[in-house]
Chains A and B, each alone.
Chain A
């Protein structure tokens, strides 16, 4: 059974839209209310959850005639059932109760996106009990749906928890703040595994946020499994023939910081980073585009290097023109002055029919070509304006081969490119070398100041880099300098000693290597000291723990993920034999610029960099 998180989430949503009743084989017979048209009421976070999975037309197919926001004034529709899909917050609960008391809809089917705390449930019950008797009876059902995550792709999700990295690393964060955030992440991951219907084995490195989240999730799963039946018994029985438990690999952003800031040369990461792709939607100055599974060009080319994408657009355009010429020729559009010959009437009619039939397809192809031409042209403008090819090339050299041309580095920092671009390059430089020569480092810093770059992010990374070395040295059980360097190099994703990825020229990330090792389950010095939590196993026993191999994995990055890691994990799937399946998720999906803003903010909070920062806080999907 291949895990498709989006398919599972869609199933839950569709069932919710059909008022959480089991689908009968004979359709509408005997199900009066299910046949009726429905009103869907949502709050903004749930709109974000639903929109990548269902379009407006899809909603109509499910019988939803109206989609409304819960916090806007709404007109009464007394004879229609309403499906509410909201987060469990006091405000939303009060709104639902007020709507029920006002008799806005014929019946109320309340679906919370995740677990509703008991006090809130009691609050809703109390408010309904106080309403007139006729209105109180309108609340037909209250359900926890456990789908509080945003599925961007079949195997890519985000918990939509912004700025988790800042919150987790903030020096001023109180223990209660850290605990609350860790619990929120654990609850989000619980929603993911509940939707998948499988109880994972949880794996994480020692220390840091990953271990805290793993412990919290393990405890939550254990509590839930005590109840019978629970969310997993139904799913387990349904999938008993091909049941296989996945491994949930938890990572902290500091595990491989360089991926968070580096520039990438593939089409999809470029669109995300440079043009601001959000939930598969793209806004250019002139137009808006959707880039999802319905776009065949995007599906086929989104991971290609940008120059290949440009070539492919050219090829598609050439083929389109050729097809158009062919149609014109067959229909006689290209001939002038040819006498009409009665003997060709039948043939001409056939060609005309073929032409008419092929018009919709040709139009669609033209629209697609225009769309990607516009996107590629816009990208090219940014690439030239900012010398993005130089940044990609220089960063790739540093990370893959561990070398840097000093002149190239300094001229990039002094040349074109946004301040964020220069910062990202400098941070990549810091992370690529265990101990860069101090004279070279001083030149880099001087060049950054010359470009009036805010130094907070750079200084912050400088500081935590030393801590990362210490942390991982402690984890490896030795304090000698050479081992620190070895660990630092491995964990910073350098390819020294690593096998290059045969499928592409980009390096294999430390994340991907670690996930591969965890899935294989063989002894491996990189992952032998990783912790394992098995919520199904007895708590005390450690000897009987199942260590793999696993064919399914869910990889989660705490503190923000990105398309580069997602792409690397896709490549792992494609080259694995026998096949593996990996789902990737993060607290939020960040571009390099967004992440560098968070680093800068942390630098400010830690008192580094000096002066006040005018960098706006980064937003993320």
Chain B
């Protein structure tokens, strides 16, 4: 499970009805922030890989309508995209990253971006080159999909609790002496139960002698 890139873009809304004007290739989304991990590419491929990712992100963002979520398979990447009121977050992940977690992460990215920058993104017309620290940190932190998905986190916490309980019981059962004292001190067992347990033990001892 791996995230390769996270980007925030503003799809272009100019000439929504026309596919192209003049010789241009059509409207392009503007990159507002990006964090891209190309460390698994060769030294000379890294800049090309970065360009490739930005290019695909622009393409996908431009084709994600406001209010829409979509996932696009491209080469070995799954590209997830979420457009909320014209602000679009895009993530490049592999096939094993859960889709729920991916969109939960994109939601958080959009929330944090609006907290940090308000509505200033609406007037941006050219790519931003300054790094946004939250996005860079998120790229590292959310390599683990549980960090992005609260339900998954709770589920895993419950699993761990069960494991702890099992260990506790097992460790107690491994020491008979402690169980004796536990029986003595336990206020949950009635006096009759205590008497029964002790007599049972004595009977066992008598049998051993015989």
Q: Which residues of A contact B (CB under 8 A)?
A: 168-171, 173, 175, 178, 207-209, 252, 459, 462-464, 466-468, 470-471, 474, 479-480, 602, 606-607
Contact = CB atoms under 8 A, between A and B. Distances in A.
B134 interface: no
Interface in B11-58: 25, 39-45, 47-49, 51-52, 55
B55 A470 contact: yes
Contacts of B51: 470-471, 474
A171 B39 CA distance: 6
A173 B43 contact: yes
Nearest to A465: B75
B75 A479 contact: no
A207 B42 CA distance: 13
B137 interface: no
8 contacts: A168-B44, A169-B43, A207-B44, A463-B76, A466-B75, A467-B41, A467-B45, A471-B51
Which one of A168, A209, A467, A468 has the greatest number of beta carbons of chain B within 10 Å?
A467
Contacts of B47: 207
A467 B48 contact: yes
Given A462-B75, A474-B48, A479 B43 contact: no
A169 B75 contact: no
Nearest to A179: B43
Given A171-B40, A470-B55, 6 more contacts: A168-B42, A170-B42, A173-B43, A467-B41, A474-B51, A606-B40
A470 B57 CA distance: 14
Which one of B43, B47, B49, B75 has the greatest number of beta carbons of chain A within 10 Å?
B43
A169 B42 contact: yes
A252 B41 CA distance: 17
B43 A175 contact: yes
Q: Which 8 A-B pairs have the closest CB atoms?
A: A169-B42, A471-B48, A467-B48, A470-B52, A171-B40, A208-B44, A178-B43, A470-B48
A480 B76 CA distance: 22
Given A462-B75, A470-B48, A480-B25, A168 B55 contact: no
Contacts of A466: 52, 75
Interface residues of B, number: 16
A168 B43 contact: yes
Nearest to A254: B44
Contacts of A602: 42
A462 B25 CA distance: 26
A209 B44 CA distance: 7
A108 B86 CA distance: 79
Contacts of B25: 479-480
A606 B43 contact: no
Contacts of A479: 25, 55
A466 B45 CA distance: 11
A480 B52 CA distance: 13
Interface in B45-89: 45, 47-49, 51-52, 55, 75-76
Given A479-B25, A479-B55, A467 B40 contact: no
B90 to A, nearest CB: 17
Nearest to B50: A470
A418 B40 CA distance: 30
Nearest to A459: B76
A464 B45 contact: yes
A212 to B, nearest CB: 8
